[in-house]
Amino acid sequence: MLVIILVGVVALSIGGAAGYLVLRLWEQRKRQTIQQITEARMEEAKAKEKEILLGAKEEAIRIRAGAESEYRLTDREKETEAIRNQVLEQKNREIKQLEAIAAMTSQEAKQALLQSLEQEVRTEASRRMVEWVSEVKAQADTKAREILSLAIQRTAGDVISEATTSVVPLPNDEMKGRLIGREGRNIRALEQATGVDLIIDDTPEAVTVSSFDPVRREIARLSLTRLIQDGRIHPARIEEVVEKAKNEVDATIISEGEATALKAGVQALHPELIKLLGRLKYRTSYGQNVLGHSLEVSQLAGHIAAELGADVAISKKAGLLHDLGKGVDHAVEGPHAVIGADLVKQWEKSQDVVQAVAEHHLESPTSSIYSYIISTADAISGARPGARGEALEQYLQRLQALETIATSFQGVEKAFAVQAGREVRIMVKPDSIDDIGAMRLARDIAKKIEDSLQYPGQIRITVIRETRAVEYAK
């Protein structure tokens, strides 16, 4: 029993010692753990403190930088304002100096600048418009040709073809190529020099000269005949031959005028009236040759005057000159009776003749017996069967109107209506109109034609600007 008690005491002692050791170890471990946690918390607190201090420093630096920037900005604004004031003062001084030098206020200078800008804008607009119009015309070209061809055939008829074309025979078809020239330079030079349209088609050994103006057509026909006979065909030679043909036609005009006056029994006509009268040889009216018509009216007027007891000489002279206005340049505007009267009174002393010419269409109040005589004779001459064709006169008037419109623009040197009125070729002065101006001129002429005339289909406006340099080797 004692042993058991001893064993129990020993066990209890050992258990107590073990418990004490365990407790001491636990307390030691607990202190270590607390110390580690404390140290970790201290390290974390230090790190947090450093982070807070670093953020505070950065914020302080940022605030300081912002304050410094704002301070510098305020100084810069002050400097900028001072510089701006100096610039404005300098600008005002320079404006006053420029106004004094140019004798122009700033408002006037602005106006001049606006005008310059307006011109640039118009130039650019013209270029854009030309591009647009070219694109549209390219799409409608085939249809336009068809419409124009049908319209010309319906309105012209055979009489116009006979009255507005001449056929020049060729020795062989090889001559056609020589007439055309390299890249068409020969035919282009001839058309520009004479104002006609040369038609070189499949017709064997023949060239057709087309123009509503018979004087031009005759000059072209003579020139073409001479060039074919001579064989030397180039632009310089063409100009020389055309000039000689013009002189020859002028001589023919004078000869025809004198011969017609002699046939009519009208004497002592002024040379200028003779020239104008001779031009009527190449002029038609309603399909009737005007010179032959004038001679016929003169003879009829003489017979009527003899029957009425009026002055036969005055009646014959007035009858011979009554259509003189049709032989002048097509640019002259107004009724041909008024134009003719204005021409006649320059070289004719008889007021009765001038009045009869002015009133022969009874378009104004008529007070002279000679006006009635000439009007009656004119009606008789034109009323005979086959004497006149209404369509031709209207056709010629339209072509004349085309040329009149073209030559009314500044810078235009010459204008020719060709291709039976389907095209107007315009030669301009190169020192007056530049390339952009030529495009704008074509558009302006087309616009005026659209507003002023009535015509079938469309009309092509071709503006030609050509610069020539001439020098002589001595």
Higher-confidence residue of 164 and 55: namely 55
Cα dihedral 288/294/300/306 (nearest 10): 170
51 has pLDDT over 60: yes
The DSSP output letter for 182 is G
* Average pLDDT of span 448-461: 80
Q: Could you write out the three-class secondary structure of 301-341?
A: HHHHHHHHCCCHHHHHHHHHHCCHHHHCCCCCCCCHHHHHH
Least confident of 166-170, 253-257, 410-414: 166-170
Q: Kindly list the distances between the CA atom of residue 319 and the CA atoms of 265, 377, 381, in Å, as whole numbers in the listed order.
A: 12, 8, 11
What is the per-residue pLDDT across 103-151, written as a single tens digit (0 to 9) for each?
A: 556 677 677 767 777 777 777 777 777 777 777 766 666 654 453 343 3
**Residue 91's pLDDT band (boundaries 50, 70, 90)?**
confident
Q: How far apart are CA 16 and CA 23, in angstroms?
A: 10
**318 close to 357: Cβ distance less than 8 angstroms:** yes
Report helix, strand or coil for 418. strand
Q: Could you write out the three-class secondary structure of 63-79?
A: HHHHHHHHHHHHHHHHH
Least confident of 12-16, 28-32, 307-311, 391-395: 391-395
- Which ranges of 165-234 does DSSP label H, i.e. alpha helix? 174-180, 185-194, 214-230
Least confident of 126-140, 272-286, 407-421: 126-140
222 has pLDDT over 80: yes
The DSSP output letter for 281 is G
Residue 209 amino acid letter: V
Q: How many other β-carbons are positioned within 10 Å of the β-carbon of residue 313? A: 15
**Residue 152's pLDDT band (boundaries 50, 70, 90)?**
very low
**Residue 459's pLDDT band (boundaries 50, 70, 90)?**
confident
The predicted structure's pLDDT at residue 144: 42
pTM: 0.46
Q: How far apart are CA 123 and CA 110, in angstroms?
A: 20
Give whichever of 24-33, 282-291, 433-442 has the largest mean pLDDT.
433-442
Q: How far apart are CA 319 and CA 377, in angstroms?
A: 8
The predicted structure's pLDDT at residue 137: 67
The DSSP output letter for 286 is T
What is the per-residue pLDDT across 311-327, written as a single tens digit (0 to 9) for each?
A: 989 989 988 988 888 77
High-pLDDT (> 90) share of the chain, %: 1
List the beta bridge partners of residue 424. Answer: 417, 461
* Average pLDDT of span 206-211: 78
**In CATH, what class is 170-264?**
alpha beta
Residue 359 amino acid letter: E
How would you class 17 by CB atoms within 10 Å of its CB: exposed for 0-12, middle for 13-18, buried for 19 or more? exposed
**437 close to 123: Cβ distance less than 8 angstroms:** no
Residue of 458, 420, 407 lying closest to 212 (CA atoms)? 420
Residue 407 amino acid letter: T
The predicted structure's pLDDT at residue 150: 37
What is the per-residue pLDDT across 155-204, written as a single tens digit (0 to 9) for each?
A: 333 333 345 567 777 777 778 788 888 888 888 888 888 888 877 776 67
The DSSP output letter for 420 is G
The predicted structure's pLDDT at residue 101: 62
Map out the domains of the chain as residue ranges. 131-158+389-474, 170-264, 287-388
**415 close to 407: Cβ distance less than 8 angstroms:** yes
Residue of 353, 347, 342 lying closest to 272 (CA atoms)? 347
**In CATH, what class is 287-388?**
mainly alpha
DSSP H or E stretch at residue 95: helix 2-102
* Average pLDDT of span 415-432: 82
Q: How far apart are CA 161 and CA 148, in angstroms?
A: 15
- Which ranges of 103-205 does DSSP label H, i.e. alpha helix? 106-164, 174-180, 185-194
CA 15 to chain centre: 127
Four-way CATH pick for 131-158+389-474: 2.60.120.560, 3.40.50.1000, 3.30.70.1350, 3.50.50.60: 3.30.70.1350
Q: Which residue has the tokens 């004038």?
A: 294
The predicted structure's pLDDT at residue 296: 86
The predicted structure's pLDDT at residue 151: 31
Q: How many other β-carbons are positioned within 10 Å of the β-carbon of residue 362? A: 12
Residue of 291, 242, 200, 237 lying closest to 414 (CA atoms)? 242
Higher-confidence residue of 349 and 99: namely 349
* Average pLDDT of span 207-211: 78
Residue of 395, 363, 400 lying closest to 378 (CA atoms)? 363
What is the per-residue pLDDT across 358-387, written as a single tens digit (0 to 9) for each?
A: 887 776 776 788 888 888 888 777 765 444
Token pair in block for residue 195: 């104002």
CA 232 to chain centre: 36
15 has pLDDT over 80: no
The predicted structure's pLDDT at residue 69: 67
The predicted structure's pLDDT at residue 372: 85
